[in-house]
Amino acid sequence: MNDEIPISNNFIRQQVLDDRASGKHDGRVVTRFPPEPNGYLHLGHAKSICLNFGIAGEFAGRCNLRFDDTNPAKEDLEYVESIKHDVQWLGFAWSELRHASDYFAVFHLCALKLIKHGTAYVDSLSAEEIREHRGSLTQAGKDSPYRSRSVAENLDLFERMRAGEFADGAHILRAKIDMAAPNINLRDPALYRIRKVTHQNTGDLWCIYPMYDFAHVISDAVEGITHSLCTLEFEDHRPLYDWCLDQLDLGNDAELTAPLRASGLTVNVSRPQQIEFARGNLDYTVMSKRKLLALVQDGLVDGWDDPRMPTISGLRRRGFPAAAIRTFWQRAGVTKQTSVIEYSVLENCVREDLDANAPRRLAVLDPLRLVLTNLAETHEESLTFSNHPKNENFGARSVPFARELWIEREDFMEVPIKGFHRLAPGSEVRLRGIGIVRCDEVIKSDDGSIAALHCTLDLDTRHGMPGADRKVKGTIHWVSARHAVAAEIRLYDRLFDVPNPDNDDDGKTYRDHLNPNSRRIVSGWVEPSLADIAAESSVQFERLGYFVRDADSRPGKLVLNRSVTLRDSWSKPAAK
């Protein structure tokens, strides 16, 4: 991985250090990132990616990318490809690419073993009846009337489920643990359900699919995972994770993994340890896949890669560098304490990275024509500008200069207020890299709007002239009107206008808090060196912010997205 960031200690890293010191797993470190291919990855997933791949990388271990493709009704190859791209873009490479569907035959054998040992049974209650029998946090559950089925009957029913004899929901396979357990996850959890849906990898070979808790633990074990890192919501599932490991004893039952060896897959069975950490939460953001999918499907955003979305693909299109995202999660740390991080912390990581790595360019987003009347109409020259004021290794470039320029409309005020140090009638300002100009005349359109400014350039203040050091209070940027390239500029901001859009205490939903100003499109002008800017290349527009070339660009149409402003525009006002 390029652009390495400092290692920060945390309780998971310390656990790995302790395990290696004690000789556990013979010192091996094997992790995995196990996304469901039912949507695009978001910032929260980036935390898990950085943690799993980072831990494996630090200890010269292995990290697999494993798709948890056990629910074909919601999965799509589009999501698979996007996830692979996102992981690679973040700077990581997986040791092996695996799918839970690689292990369907193993899951089936494991289920048969539990049935034969009397620790699993086929239940014929409806989903609603199962919920009613499960009880509550204060009330024990009730045994299903089908819990006492014989091993032979359970084997027969399960194989008929496998053969497609029954409709979806007619039966499920449940673990037989304890319906009175204080932990509801141990009250005979479901292991298999019927789903007559074509699977993206296995087609119609299977019509029964394992539940996540069952598939996940077996996948971890057969891949030789040593440290199974999960978010906190799985903490209450850990006893079930360990129960499955105890009951199946995969390391001492080679028959269970025989299908993998027959297919040529590497099998290195371990007893993995599940460790939980707090997921990553940011304000002004929702990171529920269900809600993000709804935003896409309902047309409230322009797809999963909309630059306002917290998806990795959206952030990439917005111009957030991968290194900045890695730095952000490194600074946020890994704890068991649920917290909400300010979005401005992420934006500041982006600014730091782009400040160091983005070349400087000139652009005008709200153009006002400025005419230097004391220059000839044919006047044209090239000026040399540094590409980065803090790093001479970026070199320099030529910027065309002519008689007519574009400046920012906000850099002129006809009736200046106190403290305004830019251009006004009769006042002077320095044009960046050119010299000092004085506004002599304001040209207006028929409707009274300002159409142009006629100014005089003090030739004695140009570079190398005796008056070059003459001081004025303001400096403004510009582009040559004759040479500038037109660009569609998309000014992006936060998608929501409240810190906690998930909070519905006021009767509103996250949809009611969509920020109407999250995207504003303007027609601007940029210096001609940007005409051929490469895809996903970032620049700093002086005084304006950081921008990136958008995928919608094509010959003759340049589209640029604002990644972040130069400063935090959402900062809280200082307390009085």
Q: What is the DSSP letter of 42?
A: B
The β-bridge partners of 404 are 371
Active-site residue 279, yes or no?
yes
- What amino acid is encoded at 544 in this protein? L
Q: 125 among the known binding-site residues? A: no
Q: 211 among the known binding-site residues? A: no
State the catalytic residue, choosing from 13, 20, 24, 36: 36
Measured CA to CA in angstroms, residue 233 lies from 40, 166, 278, 443 at distances of: 20, 33, 8, 65
Q: 575 among the known binding-site residues? A: no
Q: 47 among the known binding-site residues? A: yes
Q: 75 among the known binding-site residues? A: no
Q: 189 among the known binding-site residues? A: no
- What amino acid is encoded at 194 in this protein? I
Q: 171 among the known binding-site residues? A: no
Report how far residue 437's alpha carbon sits from residue 462's, in angstroms, rounded to the nearest whole number. 10
Q: 150 among the known binding-site residues? A: no
Question: What residues contact 362, with CB distance under 8 A and at least 6 apart?
Answer: 385, 399, 432, 477, 478, 479, 526, 527, 541, 542
Comparing C-alpha atoms, which of 291, 266, 294, 353 is closest to residue 538? 353
Q: 45 among the known binding-site residues? A: yes
Q: 393 among the known binding-site residues? A: no
* CB half-sphere exposure, 9, CA atoms < 13 A: 4
194 touches 169 (CB < 8 A): yes
State the catalytic residue, choosing from 24, 74, 279, 331: 279
Q: 535 among the known binding-site residues? A: no
3-state secondary structure at position 405: strand
Report how far residue 112's alpha carbon sits from residue 148's, in angstroms, rounded to the nearest whole number. 17
Active-site residue 132, yes or no?
no
Q: 48 among the known binding-site residues? A: yes
Q: 289 among the known binding-site residues? A: yes
Q: 390 among the known binding-site residues? A: no
The DSSP code sequence of 247-275 is HH-GGG-GGGGHHHHHHT--------EEE
Active-site residue 36, yes or no?
yes
523 touches 533 (CB < 8 A): no
Report how far residue 145's alpha carbon sits from residue 148's, in angstroms, rounded to the nearest whole number. 7
State the catalytic residue, choosing from 62, 113, 187, 289: 289
19 touches 13 (CB < 8 A): no
Report how far residue 433's alpha carbon sits from residue 457's, in angstroms, rounded to the nearest whole number. 12
Please, what's the b/e burial string for 470-492 (b: 16 or more CB within 10 A of its CB; e: otherwise)? eeeeebbbbbbbebbbebbbbbb
Q: Which residues are annotated as a binding site?
A: 36-38, 42-48, 68, 212, 231, 287-289
Residues annotated catalytic, as ranges: 36, 279, 289
Would you list which residues are annotated within the binding site for ATP?
A: 36-38, 42-48, 231, 287-289
Annotated binding site for L-glutamine: 68, 212
